[in-house]
């Protein structure tokens, strides 16, 4: 694979929920543009914690201290800097969670909401963006005739694709997915996996997954974390067929975790 340009980069990042205990330690990780990067590792190793640094989600729960940087390119701005507004960061970095969490609104309003919050009022623009986002999320054909009905009536898999559409509507630079298919059936999972290949043409994706086959199938790059450290990062082919580190090999062959 030809090495791509970086969309983001984690530099010496450490973070803890309390000052005494670092949950992730001195992480360095490049995120290449228009690729999918999978974060794998045993439960509690810090995958979600790392992901939530990218959209400054930790800031929502009180005083937090990040050590190190996450640079977003090409601007080269450190999104963890205390001078950067977390709300600005979340406009550039979208997130989708394990459990689909649509707003208790119509399908249309779920997507239009984020645009309105950003001050967009033009009806034709919002209509186009709703359609475009639903198409990108592979949901348009299933919902185009019922855009103004409740999102709660969609299946779990459809709700998750709606959450992806909602995240895409504001044209983020980065899309964070935290175990996006773990609550879904195999068909909905396959649907979202296929979608990732399309989505990465327009957005750079960082995804936490426990499903190693999913990482091998969908991710261009994979990072293996263990007890707060980033043990190994590389092209997924290399990580899954020829890991350099013994701990990576132990994990992917099911010897622990």
Rounded to whole angstroms, the Cα distance separating 69 from 54 reads 10
The CA distance from 117 to 88, in Å, is: 12
Q: Are 144 and 129 in contact (CB under 8 A)?
A: no
Residue 74, both tokens: 């090409």
- If one asks whether residue 63 binds ligand ATP (CB under 6 A), the answer comes out as no
Point out which span in 41-49, 139-147, 188-196, 238-246 binds ligand ATP (CB under 6 A). 41-49
| Residue 46 within binding range of ligand ATP, rule CB under 6 A | yes
CB 59 within 8 A of CB 5: no
Residue 49 CB, nearest approach to ligand ATP (Å): 3
- Is 236 a binding residue for ligand ATP by CB under 6 A? The answer is no
Please report whether residue 64 would count as binding ligand ATP according to CB under 6 A: no
What mask of x and - would describe binding to ligand ATP in positions 9 to 38, judged by CB under 6 A? --------x-----x---------------
Instruction: Select from 15, 30, 47, 164 the one that contacts ligand ATP (CB under 6 A).
Output: 47
CA 224/CA 248 separation, integer angstroms: 7
228: tokens are: 């707060």
48 binds Mg ion (CB under 5 A): yes
Q: Select the residue interacting with ligand ATP from 35, 37, 49, 214 (CB under 6 A).
A: 49
User: What pairing do the DSSP bridges indicate for beta strands 6-15 and 66-72?
Assistant: antiparallel
Instruction: State the helix-helix crossing angle for 186-199 and 156-168, rounded to 10 degrees.
Output: 20
Stretch that binds ligand ATP, among 6-14, 39-47, 138-146, 216-224 (CB under 6 A): 39-47
The backbone torsions φ and ψ at residue 76, rounded to the nearest 5 degrees and listed phi first, read 65, 30
- Number of residues in contact with ligand ATP under rule CB under 6 A: 10
Binds ligand ATP (CB under 6 A): choice among 28, 44, 60, 194:
44
CB of 98: closest distance to ligand ATP in angstroms? Answer: 8
Candidate segments 19-27, 44-52, 226-234, 239-247, binder of Mg ion by CB under 5 A: 44-52
Length of the chain, in residues? 257
Q: How far apart are the C-alpha atoms of 37 and 187, rounded to whole Å?
A: 22
CA distance 243 to 216: 13
Taking the C-alpha atoms of residue 118 and residue 247, their distance in angstroms, rounded to an integer, is 45
Choose from ligand ATP, Mg ion, none: what does 83 bind? Cβ within 5-8 Å by kind: none
Residues at the contact surface with ligand ATP, assessed by CB under 6 A:
17, 23, 41, 43-49
Can you give the binding site for Mg ion, defined by CB under 5 A?
48
């Amino acid at each position: 694979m030809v090495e791509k340009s970086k969309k983001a980069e984690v530099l010496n990042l450490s973070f803890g929920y309390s000052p005494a205990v670092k949950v992730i330690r001195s992480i360095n990780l490049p995120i290449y543009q228009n690729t999918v990067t999978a974060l794998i590792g045993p439960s509690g190793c810090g995958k979600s914690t790392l992901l939530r640094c990218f959209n400054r989600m930790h800031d929502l729960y009180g005083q937090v201290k990040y050590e190190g940087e996450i640079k977003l390119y090409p601007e080269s701005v450190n999104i963890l800097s205390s001078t950067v507004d977390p709300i600005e960061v979340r406009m550039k970095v979208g997130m989708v969670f394990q459990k689909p969490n649509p707003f208790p609104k119509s399908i249309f309003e779920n997507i239009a909401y984020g645009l309105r919050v950003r001050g967009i009022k033009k009806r034709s623009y919002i209509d186009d963006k709703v359609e475009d986002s639903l198409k990108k999320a592979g949901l348009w054909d299933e919902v185009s005739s019922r855009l103004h009905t409740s999102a709660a009536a969609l299946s779990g898999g459809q709700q998750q694709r709606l959450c992806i559409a909602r995240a895409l509507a504001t044209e983020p630079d980065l899309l964070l997915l935290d175990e996006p298919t773990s609550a879904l059936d195999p068909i909905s999972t396959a649907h979202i996996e296929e979608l990732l290949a399309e989505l990465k043409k327009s957005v750079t994706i960082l995804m936490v997954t426990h499903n190693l086959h999913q990482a091998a199938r969908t991710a261009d790059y994979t990072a293996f974390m263990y007890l707060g450290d980033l043990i190994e990062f590389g092209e997924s082919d290399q990580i899954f067929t020829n890991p350099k580190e013994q701990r990576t090999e132990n994990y992917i062959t099911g010897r622990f975790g």
